[in-house]
A and B are shown apart, each in its own frame.
Chain A
Amino acid sequence: MKKTGEIIIEGALAFSGLVTILTTVGIIVVLFSESFSFFQEVSLIDFFTDTQWTPLFTQKHYGILPLLVGTFLTTAIAIATALPIGLTIAIYLSEYANKSFRKSVKPALELLAAVPTVVYGFFALTVVTPFLQSFIPGVGSFNALSAGIVMGIMIIPMISSLSEDALYALPKSLREASFGMGATRFQTAFKVALPAASSGIIVSVILAVSRAIGETMVVAIAAGQQPILTFDPRDGVETITAYIVQVSLGDVQHGSIEYRTIYAAGITLFIFTFALNNVSYWVKKKYQEKYE
Chain B
Amino acid sequence: MNSLKRNRVIDKSFKYFGIACTFFGLLMLAIFIGNILMDGLTRIDWDFLTNLPSRKAEKSGILTAWTGTAWILGLTAFISIPLGVAAGIYLEEYGKKNRIAKIVEVNIANLAGVPSIIYGLLGLEVFGRLMNLGASLLAGAFTLAILILPILIVATREALKAVPKSLREASFAMGATKWQTIWHQTLPAAGGGILTGIILSLSRAMGETAPLIVIGALAYVPFVPKGPMDEFTVLPMQIFNWVSRPQQGFLTNGAAAIIILLLITFIMNGVAVYLRNKWQKKVNW
Assess the A244–B121 pair: CB atoms within 8 A. Answer: yes
Assess the A17–B11 pair: CB atoms within 8 A. Answer: no
Chain A 202-233: CB-based contact to B (< 8 A → 1; otherwise 0): 00000100110111110011000000000000
Assess the B210–A216 pair: CB atoms within 8 A. Answer: yes
- Interface of chain A: mostly helix, strand, loop or mixed: helix
Contacts A14-B90, A216-B117; A112 near B110 (Cβ below 8 A): no
Report the minimal beta-carbon distance from B197 to chain A, rounded to whole angstroms. 14
16 more A-B contacts (CB under 8 A) besides A16-B84, A92-B22, A269-B117?
Answer: A10-B90, A10-B179, A20-B104, A20-B107, A20-B111, A26-B126, A96-B14, A111-B266, A121-B240, A127-B35, A184-B10, A217-B210, A244-B121, A248-B120, A274-B110, A277-B113
Chain A 146-188: CB-based contact to B (< 8 A → 1; otherwise 0): 0000000100110000000000000000000000000011110
Chain A 1-28: CB-based contact to B (< 8 A → 1; otherwise 0): 0010110011011101111110110110
Among B104, B117, B179, which residue has its beta carbon within 8 angstroms of that of A214?
B117
Within 8 A of A (CB), among B74-90: 82-84, 86-87, 89-90
Contacts A20-B153, A30-B121; A207 near B177 (Cβ below 8 A): no
Assess the A17–B104 pair: CB atoms within 8 A. Answer: yes
CB-nearest residue of chain B to A150: B28
Assess the A12–B121 pair: CB atoms within 8 A. Answer: no
Assess the A125–B243 pair: CB atoms within 8 A. Answer: yes
Chain B 99-123: CB-based contact to A (< 8 A → 1; otherwise 0): 0110110111111011111111110
Report the minimal beta-carbon distance from B43 to chain A, rounded to whole angstroms. 14
Specify which chain B residues have a CB less than 8 angstroms from the CB of A122 in the assembled complex.
Answer: 36, 239, 243, 254-255, 258
Assess the B214–A244 pair: CB atoms within 8 A. Answer: yes
Specify which chain A residues have a CB less than 8 angstroms from the CB of B206 in the assembled complex.
Answer: 116
Assess the B111–A249 pair: CB atoms within 8 A. Answer: no
26 A–B pairs (Cβ distance < 8 Å), ordered by A? A13-B86, A20-B87, A26-B122, A30-B121, A85-B24, A89-B25, A92-B19, A115-B262, A116-B265, A117-B210, A122-B254, A122-B255, A184-B11, A214-B115, A214-B118, A216-B116, A216-B117, A221-B244, A244-B210, A248-B124, A248-B213, A248-B214, A266-B121, A269-B118, A270-B114, A274-B113
Within 8 A of A (CB), among B157-204: 177-179, 200, 203-204
8 A-B pairs closest in CB distance: A214-B115, A92-B18, A116-B207, A16-B86, A13-B90, A277-B113, A216-B210, A16-B87
Binds B, one of A36-44, A47-55, A60-68, A102-110: A102-110
Within 8 A of B (CB), among A253-272: 254, 262-263, 266, 269-270
Assess the B15–A27 pair: CB atoms within 8 A. Answer: no
Assess the B86–A118 pair: CB atoms within 8 A. Answer: no
CB-nearest residue of chain B to A182: B4
Instruction: Enumerate chain B interface residues (CB-CB to A < 8 A).
Output: 7-8, 10-11, 14-15, 17-19, 21-22, 24-26, 28-29, 31-32, 35-36, 39, 82-84, 86-87, 89-91, 94-95, 100-101, 103-104, 106-111, 113-122, 124-126, 129, 146, 149-150, 153, 177-179, 200, 203-204, 206-210, 213-214, 216, 219, 236, 239-240, 243-244, 251, 254-255, 258, 261-262, 265-266, 269, 273
CB-nearest residue of chain B to A284: B109
CB-nearest residue of chain B to A217: B209
Instruction: Enumerate chain A interface residues (CB-CB to B < 8 A).
Output: 3, 5-6, 9-10, 12-14, 16-21, 23-24, 26-27, 30-31, 34, 84-85, 88-89, 91-93, 96-97, 105, 107-112, 114-119, 121-123, 125-127, 153, 156-157, 184-187, 189, 207, 210-211, 213-217, 220-221, 241, 244-245, 248-249, 254, 262-263, 266, 269-270, 273-274, 276-278, 281
Specify which chain B residues have a CB less than 8 angstroms from the CB of A88 in the assembled complex.
Answer: 17-18, 21
Specify which chain A residues have a CB less than 8 angstroms from the CB of B21 in the assembled complex.
Answer: 84-85, 88-89, 92
Assess the A186–B209 pair: CB atoms within 8 A. Answer: no
Assess the A6–B243 pair: CB atoms within 8 A. Answer: no
Report the minimal beta-carbon distance from A44 to chain B, rounded to whole angstroms. 20
CB-nearest residue of chain B to A263: B121
A220 to B120, CA, bound (A): 15
Contacts A111-B29, A184-B10, A184-B11; A126 near B261 (Cβ below 8 A): no
A156 to B24, CA, bound (A): 10
